[in-house]
């Protein structure tokens, strides 16, 4: 049995005895122990406290590590990503700079359909290898739990290929991973005029295999004007729910799509994006158990108005923040940047952003018993920082890498190999 004791921790961040999904003013309450110690046994958080109270050192200890004033946080819980994709789309980035909108790029065959074409041509092994590198990159940036979606397949074969890649990532990686089936990400060209045909394909051909092979934990639909209507979203989600897949929905990104109300009606685990919200959508979300997941780097990259985080929090919604790592609208999975951008652009307090990226993110993946806080019995998935004068320094000094080491299940992970993308 390996027991490690870490001493002289400057700030031990998000120490909680009990789990709670945070909403309203509770989101700004970030429990911190200043000058702390932490004990880990077999990769699990065992005990922690203030240095003054560290009286007896157990003789069973395998190692005592003086952190010399590092701060320790629970790893980021990134509850919305699309990291399985074949290749980047920097040509669309240039189109966007020249003035084309996200919807215009999608309409001319770019966007999701462009990614689907590229993914179709790639083997499962190749896809796994590049997704593995992205997983390695984000874990070095402090992510310890992550949700990954399909949705660049859009055919029975390719959607299953993506989900099998995610399943393999789950098996091989020490990160906590959840898998979401997003077959309803866009209508493939051959079904443009035959929505019912594609929905039937999802319900009759994809879902039964996904359920049989246990390929997904959740079901997602891109509920958006020009993509899937609220009615279509409900039909697809209900079919997924009949196999035990809870909905996590792309809602209200580009328009008042009705996605939030649909998600609330279906008791979705989360509704994600929320750039375009009106009072009715805010009220519906605030009165529900559904989490609102905000993706500020996607709004930034698409030059869209940011989600109204302040209004949502003040109305009592439970808010998480995530990266949306994908080749079209957020080619970054850096949660440190997501936290900083939430503070700068959405006026979230640093405490709110850190809670939204840890404990509430864990809830948005139903991983609150394993991740998201410094709690006895949770996994030792931890960020060890360089010296920081205050916790607020983390989002303040955006762009600086303040992470010294990342620990997953009690082991420090090796840095990413150099020279590879």
Residue 76 or 301 with smaller CB distance to ligand NIG: 301
> What does the block give as tokens for 34?
């200043």
Question: Which one of 150, 233, 253, 358 is in contact with ligand NIG (CB under 6 A)?
Answer: 253
- Minimum CB separation of residue 183 from ligand NIG in Å reads 13
- Minimum CB separation of residue 327 from ligand NIG in Å reads 6
Residue 253 site contact among Fe ion, ligand NIG, none (CB < 5 to 8 Å, cut-off depends on kind): ligand NIG
Residue 270 or 326 with smaller CB distance to ligand NIG: 326
Stretch that binds ligand NIG, among 65-73, 118-126, 324-332, 398-406 (CB under 6 A): 324-332
- Minimum CB separation of residue 298 from ligand NIG in Å reads 5
Residue 328 site contact among Fe ion, ligand NIG, none (CB < 5 to 8 Å, cut-off depends on kind): ligand NIG
Site for ligand NIG in 191-250 (CB under 6 A): 222, 250
- Minimum CB separation of residue 333 from ligand NIG in Å reads 13
Neighbours of 69 (CB within 10 A): 14
Q: For every residue of 322-352, which 3-state class applies, written as one string?
A: CCCCECCCECCCCHHHHHHHHHHHHCCCHHH
321 forms beta bridges with 294
Residue 79 or 385 with smaller CB distance to ligand NIG: 79
Which among 166, 161, 147, 337 is positioned nearest to 249, based on CA atoms? 147
DSSP state letter for 413: P
- Minimum CB separation of residue 89 from ligand NIG in Å reads 7
- Show Cβ contacts of residue 350 under 8 Å, excluding neighbours closer than 6 positions: 339, 343, 391, 392, 394, 395, 396
CA-based angle 371:372:373, to the nearest 5? 105
CA distances from 66 to 5, 32, 251, 298, 310 (A): 8, 19, 46, 39, 39
CB 77 within 8 A of CB 365: yes
Question: Which one of 136, 147, 220, 324 is in contact with Fe ion (CB under 5 A)?
Answer: 324
- Minimum CB separation of residue 208 from ligand NIG in Å reads 25
Is residue 327 at the binding interface for ligand NIG, with CB under 6 A as the rule?
A: yes
CA distances from 189 to 155, 186, 260 (A): 11, 9, 27
- Minimum CB separation of residue 114 from ligand NIG in Å reads 8
Question: Which one of 5, 12, 266, 298 is in contact with ligand NIG (CB under 6 A)?
Answer: 298
Residue 300 or 384 with smaller CB distance to ligand NIG: 300
Residue 324 or 352 with smaller CB distance to Fe ion: 324
Which among 412, 419, 284, 385 is positioned nearest to 70, based on CA atoms? 385
Q: How many chain residues interact with ligand NIG (CB under 6 A)? A: 12
Site for ligand NIG in 328-347 (CB under 6 A): 328-329
Which of helix, strand or coil describes residue 170? helix
Distance CA 373, CA 355 (A): 9
CB 51 within 8 A of CB 27: no
Question: Which one of 4, 67, 115, 332 is in contact with ligand NIG (CB under 6 A)?
Answer: 115
Residue 298 or 374 with smaller CB distance to ligand NIG: 298
Strands 403-408 and 382-385 turn out to be antiparallel
Residue 177 or 391 with smaller CB distance to ligand NIG: 177
- Minimum CB separation of residue 328 from ligand NIG in Å reads 2
Tell me which residues touch ligand NIG (CB under 6 A).
111-112, 115, 222, 250, 253, 298, 324, 326-329
Tell me which residues touch Fe ion (CB under 5 A).
324
């Amino acid at each position: 049995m390996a027991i490690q004791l870490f001493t002289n921790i400057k700030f031990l961040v998000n120490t909680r005895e009990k789990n709670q999904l945070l909403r309203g003013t509770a989101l700004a309450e970030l429990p911190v122990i200043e000058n702390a110690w932490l004990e880990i046994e077999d990769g699990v958080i065992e005990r922690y406290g203030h240095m003054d109270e560290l009286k007896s050192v157990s003789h069973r200890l395998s190692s005592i590590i003086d952190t010399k004033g590092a701060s320790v946080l629970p790893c980021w819980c990134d509850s919305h990503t699309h990291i399985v994709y074949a290749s980047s789309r920097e040509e669309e980035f240039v189109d966007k700079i020249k003035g084309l909108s996200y919807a215009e790029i999608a309409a001319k065959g770019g966007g999701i359909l462009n990614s689907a074409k590229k993914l179709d041509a790639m083997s499962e092994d190749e896809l796994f290898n590049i997704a593995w590198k992205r997983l390695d990159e984000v874990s070095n940036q402090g992510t310890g739990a992550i949700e990954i979606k399909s949705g660049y397949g859009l055919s029975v074969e390719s959607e299953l290929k993506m989900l099998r890649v995610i399943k393999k990532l789950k098996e091989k990686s020490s990160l906590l991973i959840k898998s979401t089936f997003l077959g309803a990400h866009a209508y493939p060209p051959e079904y443009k005029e035959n929505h019912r045909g594609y929905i039937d394909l999802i319900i009759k051909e994809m879902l039964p295999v996904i359920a049989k092979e246990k390929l997904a934990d959740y079901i997602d639909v891109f509920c958006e004007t020009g993509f899937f209507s609220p009615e279509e979203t409900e039909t697809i989600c209900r079919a997924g729910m009949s196999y035990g897949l809870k909905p996590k929905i792309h809602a209200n990104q580009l328009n008042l799509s009705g996605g939030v109300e649909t998600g609330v009606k279906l008791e979705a685990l989360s509704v994600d994006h929320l750039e375009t919200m009106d009072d009715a959508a805010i009220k519906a979300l605030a009165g529900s158990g559904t989490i609102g997941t905000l993706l500020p780097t996607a709004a930034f990259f698409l030059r869209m108005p940011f989600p109204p985080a302040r209004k949502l929090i003040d109305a009592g919604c439970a808010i998480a923040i995530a990266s949306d790592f994908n080749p079209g609208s957020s080619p970054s999975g850096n949660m440190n940047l997501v936290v900083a951008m939430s503070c700068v652009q959405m006026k979230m307090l640093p405490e709110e952003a850190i809670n939204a990226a840890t404990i509430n993110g864990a809830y948005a993946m139903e991983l609150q018993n394993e991740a998201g806080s410094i709690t006895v019995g949770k996994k030792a998935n931890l960020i060890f920082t360089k010296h920081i004068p205050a916790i607020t320094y983390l989002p303040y000094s955006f762009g600086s890498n303040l992470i010294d080491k990342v620990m997953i299940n009690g082991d420090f992970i090796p840095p990413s190999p150099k020279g590879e993308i």
